[in-house]
A and B are shown apart, each in its own frame.
Chain A
Amino acid sequence: MKINIPHIAKLANLEITRDQEEVFEKQLSEVLTHIEKLHEVDTTGVHETSQVTGLENIEREDKTTDSFTQEEALSQTKNATNGSFVVKGIFENE
């Protein structure tokens, strides 16, 4: 099973070095080959389970609760300006 490491890395927002790329490709392909064993199970008409609690309709009333202060919200960032988090410029308006 081949896995396109650069494409997946891009989707996953990860930087993978050339050396890592080779190692990962080998390791992940091995795991995927193993996982492919699943295809021998007949699942015709079997529904999908994504949760096991059987719960439904767990909702909250529309009530407000306390928020962080600005200081608390920003307390763990390395880069804050004017009460905001700072990131590299994203795209220009043109």
Chain B
Amino acid sequence: MSKYIPIIGLEVHVELKTKSKMFCGCSADYFGKEPNTHTCPVCLGLPGALPIPNKQAIEWCIKIALALGCEINLFSKFDRKNYFYHDLPKGYQISQYDLPFGTKGSIVLSNGKTIGITRVHMEEDTGKLSHHETNGVKTSLVDFNRSGVPLVEIVTEPDFHDAKDVVEYLQMLRSIVRYLDVSNADMEKGDMRLEPNISLSTDPTKLPNYKVEVKNINSFRFVDKAIAYEIKRHEEILERGETPIQETRGWNENKNATFSQRVKEEANDYRYFPEPDIPPIRHTQEAIDELKKTLPELQTEKIARFTKEYSLPAIKAEILTREKSRADEFENAVKLGQEKGISPEQIANMIINRPDDLEIHVNNTIHVEALLQRVELENKREEISEEELKLVIQKVIADNPKAVEDYKSGKESVIMFLVGQCMRAIGRKVDANIVKQSLIKALT
């Protein structure tokens, strides 16, 4: 056991799935589109252009904050975060500084640990840079289609002490935004960008005097790896009696390593100030209460209810509730199954254990009727012990040497004939599939 305790906090950026961008009417559906075809004076940062905030995006940001148990600032505003980067057309990002929409929330992990949510705020995405090298000259190309797409930033307290918890938190967060139906949270498309900050301490009650941020990771697995990499790196530095440099690092997925991007001396002084182009936002407590009522039952709540109401083991409840639509299908099937005397667990098993059954799983949705029929059918089947089955198979093999030989020489269709022989010998309705599998095993 290491004498160092990892202290980890997390910043997550979630892209919302609004129709239009945060401050202009350009389509926010930019993924895979021709570069610079979703731009206008506002998101291209042209002279004289002015931002108008997207009402839907603000509402969704507040919904996320509410789902994370945050307090909502009834008076809020936008601020300018000033820094220069080629993907930032205005030379500042419109964000929120001292009055974010949500503060002081929390999330409880399955092990009972509480992770504090520091803040949930609204901002705009940047353009996208791609790096090229032609004739030894390095250039970057900029596409502003993503510029101005609404982004919600969720910041945690440094409450994590291991990567496993971080990953669970991320899964929960992804589940929440999907349940709220405010983001596709598609990692492949960069809808969620993850930035852990890591340091090591010998005293869990004291924050170390340094912090390393790893920027823009786009998969949970890489977060796990990056944290492990950093913990090891810090340990080695600390063991030498030195302190890791406070800096921002990137993740190189090919090398499975982090690399230095910016040290603190160069750290930006963002010169935040209130955005003069956008009047402040004020909400009434009543409006927030109303919004809170529209929140759907979230995954953790569903898991608790499923285990209680349907007597499902937690693991199965968790699987069934990963997608809200799946959970809904399950409950629908349970309701219909009740009249037929089918138990919730049987339905759960059918959904979970037969992911490849194309009659039940149609286009990523559950065909409820087919599912119930299948359960009914299986309910009618009678049991057969392994011993009895073994004896029957031995007898059928002995009685049909020709068919066995044909099978072994590659004529696989003969297997159905042999299954039929077995079924007849058993003389009861048993699962033909089980018979088939055992028969194949016996023949090889």
A residues in contact (CB < 8 Å) with B = 11, 13, 50-51, 53, 55-70, 73-74, 81-94
The answer to whether A64 and B279 have CB atoms under 8 Å apart is no
The answer to whether B25 and A63 have CB atoms under 8 Å apart is yes
Q: How far is the CB of A89 from chain B (nearest CB, A)?
A: 3
The answer to whether A61 and B55 have CB atoms under 8 Å apart is yes
The answer to whether B52 and A60 have CB atoms under 8 Å apart is yes
- Top 8 nearest A-B pairs (CB, nearest first) are A89-B138, A65-B25, A62-B56, A84-B141, A59-B55, A55-B279, A50-B274, A83-B35
Q: How far is the CB of A47 from chain B (nearest CB, A)?
A: 12
The answer to whether B280 and A86 have CB atoms under 8 Å apart is no
Residues of A within 8 A of B91 (CB): 13
The answer to whether B252 and A62 have CB atoms under 8 Å apart is no
Partner of B58, one of A50, A59, A89: A59
With contacts A64-B27, A68-B40 taken as known, whether A59 is within 8 angstroms of B53 at the C-beta atoms is yes
B residues in contact (CB < 8 Å) with A = 18-20, 24-27, 34-40, 44, 52-58, 84, 86, 91, 129-133, 137-144, 250, 252, 255, 259, 261, 269, 271, 273-274, 276, 278-282
Partner of A64, one of B20, B39, B129, B137: B20
Residues of A within 8 A of B279 (CB): 51, 53, 55-58
Q: How far is the CB of B400 from chain A (nearest CB, A)?
A: 64
Residues of B within 8 A of A60 (CB): 20, 25, 52-55
**B254 (CB) vs chain A CBs: closest residue:** A93
Residues of A within 8 A of B281 (CB): 56-57, 59
Q: How far is the CB of A90 from chain B (nearest CB, A)?
A: 5
Q: How far is the CB of B20 from chain A (nearest CB, A)?
A: 5
Q: A86–B141 Cα gap in the complex (Å)?
A: 5
Q: How far is the CB of A78 from chain B (nearest CB, A)?
A: 13
The answer to whether A61 and B261 have CB atoms under 8 Å apart is no
Residues of A within 8 A of B84 (CB): 13
The answer to whether A85 and B40 have CB atoms under 8 Å apart is no
The answer to whether A67 and B37 have CB atoms under 8 Å apart is yes
Q: How far is the CB of A49 from chain B (nearest CB, A)?
A: 10
**B266 (CB) vs chain A CBs: closest residue:** A10
Partner of A94, one of B25, B26, B129, B252: B252
- Add 4 more A-B contacts to A87-B141, A87-B142 (CB < 8 A): A50-B276, A62-B54, A86-B142, A88-B138
Partner of A89, one of B19, B133, B143, B259: B133
Q: A82–B141 Cα gap in the complex (Å)?
A: 9
The answer to whether A94 and B40 have CB atoms under 8 Å apart is no
The answer to whether B27 and A70 have CB atoms under 8 Å apart is no
Residues of B within 8 A of A70 (CB): 34-37
The answer to whether A51 and B140 have CB atoms under 8 Å apart is no
Q: A56–B255 Cα gap in the complex (Å)?
A: 50
Q: How far is the CB of A55 from chain B (nearest CB, A)?
A: 4
Q: A84–B132 Cα gap in the complex (Å)?
A: 12
- A-B contacts, 8 of them at CB < 8 A, read A11-B269, A51-B276, A57-B279, A57-B281, A64-B25, A65-B40, A89-B140, A92-B131
**A61 (CB) vs chain B CBs: closest residue:** B55
With contacts A50-B276, A57-B281 taken as known, whether A68 is within 8 angstroms of B25 at the C-beta atoms is no
Q: How far is the CB of A15 from chain B (nearest CB, A)?
A: 13
Residues of B within 8 A of A51 (CB): 274, 276, 279-280
Partner of A63, one of B20, B137, B140, B142: B20
Q: A89–B138 Cα gap in the complex (Å)?
A: 5
Q: A87–B143 Cα gap in the complex (Å)?
A: 11
Q: How far is the CB of A39 from chain B (nearest CB, A)?
A: 19
Q: A88–B134 Cα gap in the complex (Å)?
A: 12
Q: A64–B39 Cα gap in the complex (Å)?
A: 11
